[in-house]
Homo-oligomer: A and B are copies of this chain.
């Protein structure tokens, strides 16, 4: 069944110059009320004051740099905008001075989206954002979780705080949002706080493909392993931009050298086509640390790759 909203397309750069017009993601229609939307691109400009911050400005700069992205994927295949009604829904609302209510407010926002059948592709903000989205959209038991990241984010708490970018997977598993057996973390590396940094992952049977193993498996092997772990059930994909080598992402809070190239990321993400994606996000772009915008450009491209995986999944679910 064709989608009646399929006329909602990004502005065509061959008709209106890229520098022109209001900054929405890829200059998509701005539909804050979500009317007729199947996939909502949503900013979540939230960041905790732990160290080098500024990701609260991420959605704005990612939108700006996304002007450079064209509507069709690199493969020459179908555009996600031909498959689904996609719109920029603006930013999720919350109180920046009250992290506790921010958790509630943003979760409620995504729950409402889920209730209306809108699949979110979110743009952080810091990595706590994934938890916010999951809390909103997971209704029928834990889902699969594909995490690109330099860090495990499996602390029990951080400075005594339980809801933040370092405890994302811990809370997700403990609260029944994430299925640890269907979770895979790709790209982990870098110095560790302690020798226990990955114990939580091991104890819960979560699959970790650290960067040493990433190189051993090769991109095809990584793709196969992700698909094996996650299977056909509903899953969520999160891309913490620091999964990339720090040379590609100077503008993030905790840059780690020795990681994925953008090419690695692109190839692996394209290999995930067909997963039953029910939500996705890209996080941790910090504009104040990225005056030339190259980190945001990579983030915008990754958001588009996530859209290219999510759109057919939404289309398939619609057809059922």
Contacts and interface: CB of A to CB of B under 8 A. Distances in A.
A155 to B, nearest CB: 8
How many copies of the shown chain assemble into the complex?
6
A248 B247 contact: yes
Contacts of A91: 20-22
Interface stretch (A46-54, A171-179, A229-237): A46-54
A304 B93 CA distance: 26
A262 to B, nearest CB: 4
A72 B191 contact: yes
A57 B198 CA distance: 29
Interface in A66-121: 67-74, 76-77, 88, 90-91, 93, 95-99
Contacts of A161: 97-98
Contacts of A254: 68
A161 to B, nearest CB: 4
A70 B246 contact: no
Interface residues of A, number: 89
Contacts of A97: 48-50, 99, 158-161, 164
Nearest to A82: B195
A18 interface: yes
A211 B266 CA distance: 12
29 contacts: A13-B193, A17-B50, A17-B51, A17-B96, A18-B51, A19-B96, A20-B45, A20-B96, A22-B88, A30-B30, A48-B49, A49-B97, A51-B56, A51-B68, A53-B54, A70-B190, A72-B192, A72-B194, A76-B192, A95-B159, A97-B158, A98-B160, A246-B262, A246-B294, A247-B261, A250-B294, A255-B294, A257-B262, A291-B291
A-B pairs, 9 with minimum CB distance:
A257-B262, A70-B191, A288-B288, A72-B192, A291-B291, A97-B161, A258-B263, A97-B159, A18-B51
